[in-house]
A and B are shown apart, each in its own frame.
Chain A
C-alpha cells in the first residue's frame, strides 16, 4: 500500500523557515493578540487619533468594543515586548493581521505579517540592511541585494521602503535580477521607544514589517494569495 502523508500548510513552512533563519542571529519569536487594543495598534505607535496617518491602514473595528480593533499590523508587539523586556532586544513577530479592503489576487483582508525589531545602543539603518540581506539570502538561496528608498510610517523615523533583488544563479527565474518592493521599515521612532518605556537617548533600533504570504507566493510561485485560505488540499498537498 502506498503511504499517505500529511502536509504542512505552506505558510507554516514559511514560518518555520523564517524562525530558523532569524534564530541564528538571536531574534526571539514574539507574539501578541489578533484583537488588539487601539492604543497598542495606533496611539503608542505614534499614530495619533484624528490624524491622517490613521488612514494609511484600513481598519476593522469591533461592535461594542470601541477600544479594540483587529490588529492592522504586528507592530503592536514591538511595544508589548519592549514594555516587558530590557534592551538589547531582537525579536521577530510572525502573525495574522487584518485590513478592511477589497480582496483580489494580491490582497486579502487577512494575511500574515513578519515584524522584526532590533534595539540596542548603536543600531543603525546599516544593521537593517545587513539583517535583511542575511535573511533573504538564506531564505531564497544565493545572493540578495537590498536597497532603501525614503518613505513614511508613523512608528519609524527615518522611514524607508525596502526593495530586494535576487542575483544568484539558483534564484527562481521569474524573480532573478529584478528589483522587488518587499516591505516597509525604518528606525524606531523615539516616541514609540518612550511609550514602551525605553529611553531614546540611550537606545535606538530598527523595525521592519513584510507580508509572509508574499514571501510564500514568491518562493512557491503562487499567483493568488486567497488560495492560502481556501482550506483546499489541492493547494496544501502540493507542499
Chain B
C-alpha cells in the first residue's frame, strides 16, 4: 500500500522522525518497504502489508498506529478511539437487505452539496499516493478509505428515491461500472439497487457508471457497508475486477468500522462540498461489544521467541499498543482491539511482542547435534547412481518438467509450449543430446553421454525415473547396444546389486527407480560426501567454434603435457581447448595427435584467422625439432 509521509505525520503533530528512519523502523519491526519515493515535498512509502494484518493496516491510521507503538510516540488523535453515534437519524432512506453477503450497512443523506474540484490539500494527498482526483465528493470517499481503511460510495440521491435495496444479482444481469466496462453477473453476486430493483453498483467492488456524482448533483446518499470476505473475493475473481475496496473486504475489515467510516465521510463532505446532513440510517446492528481475549504466559513468550523478557517488558509493550489486559503473576489476558481480528491465539500476540521488542535480541542457539534417525534410501542410492555414472563420463542434466504436449495437462498453463507435464525423461534427453552434439569439441568430448534423475507424471501418478543418453558428435545416434550404454547398465547393476533393465530405443533409455529401490538392501549411514567443489561459473561463448587437428612425432619419453603447454602458449587466448586424442609409439618415437578448438567471446571466427594461428603453431613445433605429420 502506498503511504504518504506527510499524511502519517498529521497523526503526530508533525513530530515524526525522517522518512529514512521510518523505513528502517518499519522494516525491522513491521513490514518490508518495497520502495520509498520522493513526490513533491512528500515521501511515499510502498508498504508491503501482508494478509495477516490487512484487515486493519491497509490504511494510514493503521500504519500510524503501528508507528506510534514502534516509536513509542503517542498518536495526536486516534480516530478509532471513540465509538461514533450516528445522529440524527432520518426516515428518508429505507434500507432493505436481501443478500446474506451484507454484514452491516449504513447510509447518510446530505442535501445541497456543491460538486467542485477538491481543495488543494485533498488533491495533493490523493495524488501523492497515486490516486486521481475526481471531484470533492468522490475524493472525500476515497480519502477516508485510504485514511481509515473503510471503503464507501456516494450516489446521486435522485437515483435512490426513498431508499436502497441490497439484493443478489439475477443470472445474466448486466451493469456498466465506473471503469466503463459492462459486467455480467450470476446469482452469487450482490448488487446495490434502488428500492424498485434498478441495479446501481456492485456491492463491495465497484460503483455503477450512471448512478454516481455529476456536476449537476446537489443531494447525495453516502453508503458505507461491510461485505462477506469470501463472497467478495469470489465475486471479484469471477468478474476479474479487483478494486481497492474489494481488497479490503477480502482481507476481513471488521463490520464495526462502518459507523467510523460513514461519520468520517459525512464530516469531510460537509467540509469540502458544503450541504446539510439530513440524517443517517443503518441496519439493525447486533451487539458488537463482545470482547475477544487471548491468554498467554511469560514462559511461553520467552520460549517461543528465544528471549529473556520480564513481565514489565511485556506489559510495557501492551501499554504502547494501548491494549486492555489483565495480569495474574506471569499470566496475561489481552483484550484484542475490535479492529484487530488477527489477534486470536497466543502466538499472534507473541509475534507482536517479538517484533516490537526487536528480533535482533533473539540469541542464536545451535541445536545439540543428534544422531541421524533415518537415512533416505532414495537419496542414498541416487547418490551412488551419480557416482557410478560420472565415473563412466556421463554428465548429469536437469530438464524442464513441462512439455508442449503429453499426458497430464495443466489447467492453467503459463505458456502454450509448457501446457503438459512430462510422462517420460526420454523426450528431453533426446533434445539435450542433439543440443550438445555440436559443442562436443568445445567441451572436449568424443561422445555426448548424459543422465537425468527426475519425476515424470501420468494418469496413474508420478514416478522417479533414471534416463541415460549417448550420442556421437556427428549426429549419429548410438544404438541400444552402444558400448557406452551397455557399460553403464552393467556398472549400475553391479553398484546396486540388482539387474537394471532400461526401456527405450537407440541410446536413449530409462528405468523406473521406484521399481528398483525397494529391492535394494536398507542402509544405515550415508557414504562420505564428495569434497564440495569450488567452482565459479564462466559464461560460455555463443559463437561457433573452429577445430583444427595437429599430429606430430616426438622422441620417446616426451610428456604430452609439455606439448599441450607449448600448443596452448602458441595458440593464444582464442584456443579454448587442446585435447590429446590419439597416441602411439613406433621405432622409439611417439606420435601425438591433438585437437585444438578456437572460439571467440566476441565474434564468429573466420577460418583464415585460425589458419594463421595454426601456421605459427606448426613453426614452433618444428623449431622444437618435432616432425609434424
A-to-B contact residues, CB < 8 Å: 1-2, 4-13, 15-17, 19-20, 23-31, 33-35, 50-53, 55-56, 60-64, 70, 90, 96, 98, 100-102, 109-110, 118, 122, 124-127, 129-131, 133-134, 146-152, 154, 157-161, 187, 189-190, 204, 220-223, 227-239
Instruction: Please report the C-alpha to C-alpha distance between residue A33 and residue B450 in the assembled complex, in whole angstroms.
Output: 25
Which chain B residues border A232 with CB–CB below 8 Å? 432, 435-436, 439
Which chain A residues border B370 with CB–CB below 8 Å? 25-26, 90
A-B pair count, CB < 8 Å, reads: 284
Residues of B contacting A: mostly:
mixed
Instruction: Please report the C-alpha to C-alpha distance between residue A150 and residue B359 in the assembled complex, in whole angstroms.
Output: 8
Q: Within the complex, which residue of B398, B450, B537 is in contact with A221, where a contact is CB–CB below 8 Å?
A: B537
- Say yes or no: is B408 at the interface (Cβ < 8 Å to chain A): yes
B528 to A: closest C-beta gap in Å: 8
- Say yes or no: is B42 at the interface (Cβ < 8 Å to chain A): no
Is the Cβ of B305 less than 8 Å from the Cβ of A125?
Answer: yes
Which chain A residues border B402 with CB–CB below 8 Å? 109-110
Instruction: Please report the C-alpha to C-alpha distance between residue A160 and residue B110 in the assembled complex, in whole angstroms.
Output: 47
Closest partner residue, chain A, to B457 (CB atom): A35
Instruction: Please report the C-alpha to C-alpha distance between residue A148 and residue B363 in the assembled complex, in whole angstroms.
Output: 11
Which of B27-35, B85-93, B283-291 makes up part of the contact surface? Answer: B27-35
Q: Within the complex, which residue of A5, A190, A231 is in contact with B436, where a contact is CB–CB below 8 Å?
A: A231
Which of B214-222, B549-557, B579-587 makes up part of the contact surface? Answer: B579-587
Interface members, chain B 296-341 (any A CB < 8 Å):
303-307
Q: List 7 A-B contacts (CB under 8 A).
A: A7-B396, A9-B398, A35-B421, A127-B367, A133-B366, A150-B355, A233-B397
Interface members, chain B 327-384 (any A CB < 8 Å):
345, 347-348, 350-351, 354-355, 359-360, 362-367, 369-376, 378-379, 383
- Say yes or no: is B111 at the interface (Cβ < 8 Å to chain A): no
Q: Within the complex, which residue of A33, A129, A158, A161 is in contact with B462, where a contact is CB–CB below 8 Å?
A: A33
Which chain B residues border A1 with CB–CB below 8 Å? 580-583
Instruction: Please report the C-alpha to C-alpha distance between residue A238 and residue B535 in the assembled complex, in whole angstroms.
Output: 7
Instruction: Please report the C-alpha to C-alpha distance between residue A8 and residue B383 in the assembled complex, in whole angstroms.
Output: 10
Known pairs A190-B345, A233-B445; A129 contacts B365 (CB<8 A): yes
Which chain A residues border B234 with CB–CB below 8 Å? 50
Task: List 7 A-B pairs, minimum CB-CB distance, nearest first.
Answer: A126-B306, A26-B370, A124-B306, A231-B432, A158-B351, A6-B390, A152-B50
Which chain B residues border A5 with CB–CB below 8 Å? 390, 393
- Say yes or no: is B443 at the interface (Cβ < 8 Å to chain A): yes
Which chain A residues border B251 with CB–CB below 8 Å? 52
Which chain A residues border B362 with CB–CB below 8 Å? 124-126, 129, 148
Is the Cβ of A61 less than 8 Å from the Cβ of B355?
Answer: no
- In this complex, the member of A20, A102, A148, A152 whose beta carbon has the largest number of chain B beta carbons within 10 angstroms is A152
Closest partner residue, chain A, to B26 (CB atom): A150
Known pairs A6-B449, A17-B529, A157-B351; A50 contacts B233 (CB<8 A): yes
Q: Within the complex, which residue of A50, A64, A150, A233 is in contact with B351, where a contact is CB–CB below 8 Å?
A: A150
Is the Cβ of B396 less than 8 Å from the Cβ of A34?
Answer: no
B203 to A: closest C-beta gap in Å: 17
A166 to B: closest C-beta gap in Å: 15
Closest partner residue, chain A, to B247 (CB atom): A52
Which chain A residues border B432 with CB–CB below 8 Å? 231-232
Is the Cβ of B418 less than 8 Å from the Cβ of A109?
Answer: yes
Closest partner residue, chain A, to B560 (CB atom): A2
B3 to A: closest C-beta gap in Å: 17
Instruction: Please report the C-alpha to C-alpha distance between residue A148 and residue B442 in the assembled complex, in whole angstroms.
Output: 46
Closest partner residue, chain B, to A228 (CB atom): B398
Chain B residues bordering chain A, tally (CB within 8 A): 108
B-to-A contact residues, CB < 8 Å: 27-32, 50-54, 229-230, 233-234, 247, 250-251, 303-307, 345, 347-348, 350-351, 354-355, 359-360, 362-367, 369-376, 378-379, 383, 386, 389-402, 408-414, 418, 421, 428, 431-432, 435-436, 439, 442-446, 448-450, 452, 455, 457, 461-462, 526, 529-530, 532-533, 535-540, 579-583
Is the Cβ of B347 less than 8 Å from the Cβ of A187?
Answer: yes
Instruction: Please report the C-alpha to C-alpha distance between residue A238 and residue B306 in the assembled complex, in whole angstroms.
Output: 43
Known: A2-B581, A150-B30. 5 other contacts (CB 8 A): A5-B390, A6-B391, A56-B51, A110-B400, A223-B539
Instruction: Please report the C-alpha to C-alpha distance between residue A195 and residue B141 in the assembled complex, in whole angstroms.
Output: 43
Is the Cβ of A229 less than 8 Å from the Cβ of B398?
Answer: yes
Is the Cβ of A9 less than 8 Å from the Cβ of B397?
Answer: yes
B359 to A: closest C-beta gap in Å: 4
Which chain A residues border B579 with CB–CB below 8 Å? 2
Is the Cβ of B443 less than 8 Å from the Cβ of A237?
Answer: yes
Closest partner residue, chain B, to A134 (CB atom): B366
Q: Within the complex, which residue of B359, B373, B390 is in contact with A28, where a contact is CB–CB below 8 Å?
A: B373
Is the Cβ of B355 less than 8 Å from the Cβ of A229?
Answer: no
Which chain B residues border A25 with CB–CB below 8 Å? 366-367, 369-370
Is the Cβ of B51 less than 8 Å from the Cβ of A100?
Answer: no
Which chain B residues border A233 with CB–CB below 8 Å? 395, 397, 436, 439, 443, 445, 448, 450
Is the Cβ of A118 less than 8 Å from the Cβ of B530?
Answer: no
- In this complex, the member of A17, A96, A234 whose beta carbon has the largest number of chain B beta carbons within 10 angstroms is A234
Closest partner residue, chain A, to B231 (CB atom): A50
Known pairs A52-B54, A90-B370, A158-B347; A61 contacts B354 (CB<8 A): no
Instruction: Please report the C-alpha to C-alpha distance between residue A160 and residue B358 in the assembled complex, in whole angstroms.
Output: 12
Which chain B residues border A229 with CB–CB below 8 Å? 398-400
Is the Cβ of B583 less than 8 Å from the Cβ of A160?
Answer: no
Instruction: Please report the C-alpha to C-alpha distance between residue A229 and residue B350 in the assembled complex, in whole angstroms.
Output: 42
Which chain A residues border B526 with CB–CB below 8 Å? 19-20, 23
A21 to B: closest C-beta gap in Å: 9
A4 to B: closest C-beta gap in Å: 4
A45 to B: closest C-beta gap in Å: 14
Instruction: Please report the C-alpha to C-alpha distance between residue A17 and residue B439 in the assembled complex, in whole angstroms.
Output: 30
A59 to B: closest C-beta gap in Å: 8
Known pairs A60-B410, A124-B305; A151 contacts B50 (CB<8 A): yes
Which chain A residues border B391 with CB–CB below 8 Å? 6
Closest partner residue, chain A, to B454 (CB atom): A96
Which chain B residues border A12 with CB–CB below 8 Å? 386, 396
Is the Cβ of A102 less than 8 Å from the Cβ of B414?
Answer: yes
Known pairs A29-B376, A130-B366, A151-B50; A6 contacts B32 (CB<8 A): no
